[in-house]
């Protein structure tokens, strides 16, 4: 299931005066990007990840609102409360999407209908549900007739539905992959079928294996419960290009502080710190350092900052923690501490 234009819908829900109007969440700063926009705004050609300035040009009377992440989290939790009644096997993807395993129902179609209705009634939000026999097809189905849709792909229809889809409908095919495929004159899933498995692997590496299968309606992935956090990152796009290493350093430090807070809140112990820098020409470089045991992240960050080039302007930086230590390591062991009793009294 996929909540329709989720962030924008929450805004319209909370502020009735925004309903029926082009609402754009994010992108208020000149260089920020659009996070989500309402269907009214999409009519003007606005889409997520579009630079705010472009969105403003396309839709000058659009209503730009700031991102209220905490509020979306609340609404997302309300929705989860509902669907967990139907299945305890679920996998969330961001705040607005989730895979549910409903194979324990003899007929899942009425369940899907009921779920849609309850989400609408209890949260005021609409969602699109794709119902099928694997994750890839369920996802494709949910995207097929947004918003407020229920699309079912049965095994016998899978190939005929896939056949006519543009190649971008497959999960994992982004802009770059589309360009790559366009060079081979591959625009639809049907075109893609002409490639051999080896050719696909050559083009997409390991991911090619899965892609080859998914284009044929095959996907063996299981629902991954409580998807473990793989990375935590914080990024910022600068209102004006930055050329100075020290300016980058002080902003990166702020991001690092936020990242450390997020990591500590989740009680995670990361081993790897990455710094990503996007230059004005949109070339993006990312470097990382891995540390063993305890480490001063700020020293590591300084080292990373020094390893970049500052001769051309920089528009975005991102700081990312990953490679988290196994939780189980900690559960067996407890580092004891010196006791400074009299201090605490």
Partner 1 sequence: MKLRILQSVLVDAVSQVTKAVSTRTTIPILTGIKVTAEEDQLILTGSNSDMTIETKIPRVKDEKEQLFVEKIGSVVVPGKIFAEIVRKLPGNEVEWIVGERNGITIRSGKAEFQLHGLPSEEYPSLPQLYEEQVFSLSADLLRTLVRKTSFAVAVNEARGVFTGVLFQLEEGLLTCVATDSHRLSRQKTQVESLPDLQLNNVIIPGKSMSELAKTFADETELVDLVVAGNQLLARTKHLSFYTRLLEGSYPDTNRVIPQTGDVEVTTKTKELLQSVERASLISRDGRDNVIKWTVSDNQVQITSASQEIGSVVEEIQADVKGPSLTISFNARYMIEALRTIDSEEIHIQFTGSMTPFLMQPTDRNDSLHLIVPIRTR
* Residue in this structure with the two tokens 């309850």, named with its chain if needed: 118
Q: Is 338 in the site for partner 1 (CB under 8 A)?
A: yes
111 binds partner 1 (CB under 8 A): no
Q: What is the size of the binding site for partner 1 (CB under 8 A)?
A: 27
Tokens describing residue 36: 């989500």
Structure token pair of residue 234: 């914080």
Minimum CB separation from partner 1 for residue 257, in Å?
A: 11
The CA–CA distances, whole Å, from 246 to 33, 243, 257, 300, 305 equal: 25, 9, 16, 15, 9
Pairing of strands 231-242, 314-324: antiparallel
Shortest approach of partner 1 to residue 296 CB, angstroms? 5
d(CA 317, CA 285): 10
Known active-site residue 17: no
Tokens of 87: 């299945």
Interaction of residue 21 with partner 1, rule CB under 8 A: no
Q: Using CB under 8 A as the criterion, what x/- string covers residues 293-332 for binding partner 1?
A: xxxx----------------------------xx-xxxxx
Q: Which is nearer to partner 1, 183 or 228 (CB)?
A: 228
Strand order in the sheet with 97-100: 90-93, 97-100, 2-3, 127-131, 150-152
Does position 282 interact with partner 1 (CB under 8 A)? The reply is: no
Should residue 250 be labelled a site residue for partner 1 when binding is judged by CB under 8 A?
A: yes
- Judged by CB under 8 A, does residue 345 bind partner 1? no
Please list, in sequence order, all residues whose beta carbon lies within 8 angstroms of the beta carbon of residue 165, skipping any fewer than 6 positions away. 140, 188, 189
Q: Which one of 29, 91, 97, 258 is the catalytic residue? A: 97
CA distance from start to end of the chain: 54
- Closer of 14 and 244 to partner 1 (Cβ): 244
Active site residues: 97
Residue numbers of the site for partner 1 (CB under 8 A)? 246, 249-250, 260, 269, 292-296, 325-326, 328-340, 342-343
């Amino acid at each position: 299931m996929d909540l329709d234009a989720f962030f924008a819908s929450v805004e319209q829900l909370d502020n009735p005066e925004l309903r029926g109007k082009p609402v754009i969440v994010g992108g208020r700063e000149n260089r920020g990007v659009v996070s989500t926009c309402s269907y009214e705004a999409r009519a003007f050609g606005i889409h997520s990840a579009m630079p705010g300035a472009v969105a403003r040009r396309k839709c000058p009377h659009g209503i730009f609102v700031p991102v209220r992440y905490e509020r979306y989290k609340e609404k997302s939790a309300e929705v989860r409360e509902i669907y967990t009644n139907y299945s305890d096997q679920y996998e969330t993807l961001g705040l607005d999407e989730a895979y549910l395993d409903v194979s324990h129902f003899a007929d899942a179609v009425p369940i899907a209908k009921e779920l849609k209705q309850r989400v609408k009634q209890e949260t005021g939000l609409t969602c699109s549900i794709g119902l099928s026999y694997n994750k890839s097809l369920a996802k494709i189905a949910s995207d097929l007739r947004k918003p407020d849709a229920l699309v079912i792909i049965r095994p016998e229809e899978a190939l005929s539905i896939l056949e006519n889809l543009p190649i971008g409908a497959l999960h994992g095919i982004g802009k770059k992959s589309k360009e790559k495929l366009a060079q081979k004159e591959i625009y639809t899933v049907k075109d893609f079928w002409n490639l051999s498995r080896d050719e696909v692997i050559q083009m997409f590496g390991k991911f090619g294996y899965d892609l080859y299968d998914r284009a044929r309606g095959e996907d063996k992935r299981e629902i991954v419960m409580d998807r473990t956090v793989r990375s935590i990152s914080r990024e910022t796009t600068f209102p004006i290009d930055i050329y100075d290493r020290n300016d980058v350093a002080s902003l990166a430090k702020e991001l690092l502080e936020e990242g450390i807070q997020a990591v500590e809140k989740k009680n995670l112990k990361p081993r790897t710190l990455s710094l990503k820098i996007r230059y004005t020409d949109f070339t993006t470089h990312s470097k990382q350092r891995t540390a063993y045991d305890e480490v001063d992240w700020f020293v590591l960050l300084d080292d990373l900052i020094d390893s970049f080039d500052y001769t051309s302007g920089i528009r975005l930086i991102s700081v990312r923690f990953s490679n988290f230590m196994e939780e189980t390591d900690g559960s067996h062991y407890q580092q004891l501490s010196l006791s400074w009793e009299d201090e605490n009294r």
